[in-house]
Structure formats: C-alpha cells, structure tokens
Amino acid sequence: MDNSNIARQEAIELDNQDKLAHFKQEFYIGDETLYMDGNSLGLLSKRAEETLLTSLEDWKHHAIEGWTDGEQPWYYMSEKLGEMTAPLIGAKKEEVINTGSITTNLHQLLATFFKPEGKKTKILADTLNFPSDIYALKSQLRLHGLDPEEHLIQVPSDDGRTLDEDTIIELMNNDVALLLLPSVLYRSGQLLDIKKLTEAAHEKGIIVGFDLAHSIGALPHELHEWEVDFAVWCTYKYLNSGPGGVGGLFVHEKHLGQAPGLAGWFSSRKDKQFDMDHTLIPAETAGAFQIGTPHILSSAPLIGSLKIFEEAGIENIRKKSLQQTEFMMKLIEQELDGFGFTIANPRENKRRGGHVSLEHDEAARICKALKEKHIIPDFRSPNVIRLAPIALYVSYEDIFEVVMHLKEIMEKQSYKKFENERGIIA
C-alpha cells in the first residue's frame, strides 16, 4: 500500500473517531464542493437559517411589537448574543456585545481608550495586520492632530510572515499609549501570546486591544482573566453568521460604566433609553459601546450558529482544528514535495491558528485551478494560499481529497492556463 492510500485510510479512521463529525450535516454545502475558505466566510447552517427566519416571522406577525414580544425580542438581541459569545472568549456576559462591524467597533474603542497626553501619544501596531485596522489607527491619530508617520509604530517582521513577541515588548516605550494587535495573523495564521503581551504592556501603562477576527470560534481565549482592555471581531468567518454579519466587541469590566467615545442612542441604559432625554445615561455593560439601532436581520443568524458552538464546545473545536491542520501539513509535505510550496504558518500548536498558509510563486493561478475542481481556497497577495479545515464542517477525508487534487494540478501543470493575477475579490 503506497503512502497516499495509507493517508486515505488514516483520514477515514480519524473521521470514524471524530466526535464532532455529525455537525457537518448541519451545514449547507454542495455535494461536489470542498470548502476551505471558512476563515473568510463560514458556511450557512440550518440553525442559522432557522433563527433568521424566526426574526422574519417576528416581523411578519408582530410588526413593531417584535422589539419586545417576538420569539427573539429585538430590543435585547445584542445582549443575548453577547452572553452567548462570552464563553468563546473567556469573558463575563456584561463584557460582550454584538454590534456594528469590526472596523466600526474598532473606531468606537479607539475613540474611547486612545487618550494621548503628555509624552504618551503613540500607538503600537504591526506591519502584518489586516489593512483595515491600520486605516482606523491612522485616521484616529489624525483626528487627534497627530501625524501617523510619527505616532504610529509598526513592529517589523524578520521573515515577512510572523511577529516576535519579545520584539513587540521591546518597542513598548514610555511614549506608547495604546497597543493594537491581531490575535492571529491573517496571512500566516500565527497565534500571538495574548497573555504575555498584555502583561508586558500593562507594566508600561499601555491600553491593550486585540483584533480576534481570525481566532474567535477557532480557539478558546481568556480575555477577562488576561485583563485585555478591549477586543473586536467579525462573526462571518469561524462563527458562521453570514456575509456582513454584525460584529462584536469586548470591554473588560474594569472599564465598564464610563461613557463611550462615540455615543449613540443604543449606548443608553435599557430602562432609560426611551426617556428620550438629551443627556446620555450609558449602559453599565459593554452595551454602552453600541451606537445605532441593532441590525436584526444580520444578527439573528448568529443565534442559531452560537447554539452549535455551545453544543460542540470551543475546547473540542480547537482540539480537532489542531489535529486537522497537523494532518493537512503532514500530507502536504508527503505529497507535494518538490512542487515549490512552503508552509508559512508556525508548526507549534501554541503558535498556530485555524488555517494552513501555503506560499507559492504561482499562488493566484493555483487557486483558480483549485476552484475549477470545486475546491474553494483563499488567495492573499502576493503569494499565499490559505486553506482552512473548519472543525464543524470539514472532514479528514475532505482534507485528503484537497491535497490530492492539488497534487494533480501541480503534476499536470493545469494551473498554467490561468493568469497569475488575483480576481476582484481574492
């Protein structure tokens, strides 16, 4: 029996032992499709569909009374979702709210916590972060009359893939007021040591925030215990809330009770909101950091999705995710040796997020060739193929099939019929 047949048998055996395997039946996916892009947009589950339809029924039958009398009352939906999300990030329910978008929430929390004064006028970030976060940081600096060229410090990367925590700590100077980093880097999948970085920053009196876009729903966190000051995330990746699903934020309880930097009607304490007073009485929970009316139809699917997470358990999801990515990397090294691929993500479990990052000079056209075979990867400029074996709906045999199809593409050089350029959306 050759190595590939041995690997297939291993995949089948792992699937037979998988206690989360039955959750795959909860999700909609084409029979011939192998979906490896759940770290960009998670699949629709039947339960997310059901809770969206419930809110539509509430609108149909209750009209405006749906705010309080629906099966899923809209007035309290953001708080309910915050409570359901809290266990995934190690937070208290009052520290979490489902609201806005990831970048809107980041602007809100920067407006609240970035208070440059005296020598503390700089923000520490990194050179590998998703562009949107850097855009937000620069615009907030400009709003304070500060030049981003001088007041935004971006930690360099020695290898262009990963960050060194000790280097980050070395740059925590006395002029840094706020630190913002991704929990997991979007290209390489590196998981940063959140606890270590938070403790070091607090020793210097620096406010600490994290972007959890590529970690929430893939791995557990302990934000409250680690005393992270704030965090933001989207819900349409690993949390499977749907395209443009409403985001979320965390504010540590030590900061609750203060007025938000950007106040709005839904920043109000719930029992005072309809007093219609022009003096804001902010909520004493993370709800204070809401701005506008909740986007109900973009929030409702998350109720159903989070019920799946509650049943599956984030620790179980993480255990399977690590085993899946390890299996995929072993297969890549076994089957794709000599084809020019480099595994760019860290190999250690404690430093790896939920996806495998492959570098190749022909990455864009290889992704197109995969899509021709109904395999959905993710390309990131300039040369990265991201493959995310999502624990809830990707089997080990799926992983085996993806790697074998990739091997066939490279052996036949079928990728060469495509241009090595990204599409409008990569």
Beta bridge partners of 155: 126
Within a 10 A sphere around the Cβ of 328, how many other Cβ atoms?
25
Residue numbers in the known binding site are: 102-103, 130-133, 211, 214, 236, 265, 293
H or E stretch at 66:
helix 66-69
- Count of residues in the chain: 426
Of 403, 388, 426, 346, whose CA–CA distance to 218 is shortest? 388
Residue numbers in the known binding site for pyridoxal 5'-phosphate are: 102-103, 130-133, 211, 214, 236, 265, 293
Radius of gyration of the chain (CA): 22
Beta bridge partners of 152: 123
Distance from C-alpha of 352 to C-alpha of 219, rounded to nearest angstrom: 10
- Let me know the angle formed at the C-alpha of 142 by 140 and 148, rounded to the nearest 5 degrees: 95
**Site of tokens 């920043």:** 267
**Do residues 5 and 11 lie in contact, with contact meaning Cβ atoms separated by under 8 Å?**
no
DSSP state of 101: -
Strands (E), 18-99: 34-35, 96-98
Q: Residue 330 is encoded by which pair of tokens?
A: 């072993």
DSSP state of 210: E
Q: Residue 220 is encoded by which pair of tokens?
A: 């557990």
**Do residues 84 and 310 lie in contact, with contact meaning Cβ atoms separated by under 8 Å?**
yes
For CA atoms 298, 299, 300, 302, the dihedral sign is positive
Distance from C-alpha of 194 to C-alpha of 168, rounded to nearest angstrom: 12
Phi, psi (degrees; rounded to nearest 5) at 385: -105, 115
Q: What is the DSSP string of 11-36?
A: HHHHHHH-TTGGGGGGB---TT-EE-
Distance from C-alpha of 389 to C-alpha of 28, rounded to nearest angstrom: 16
Would you call 43 helix, strand, or coil by DSSP? coil
Distance from C-alpha of 278 to C-alpha of 235, rounded to nearest angstrom: 33
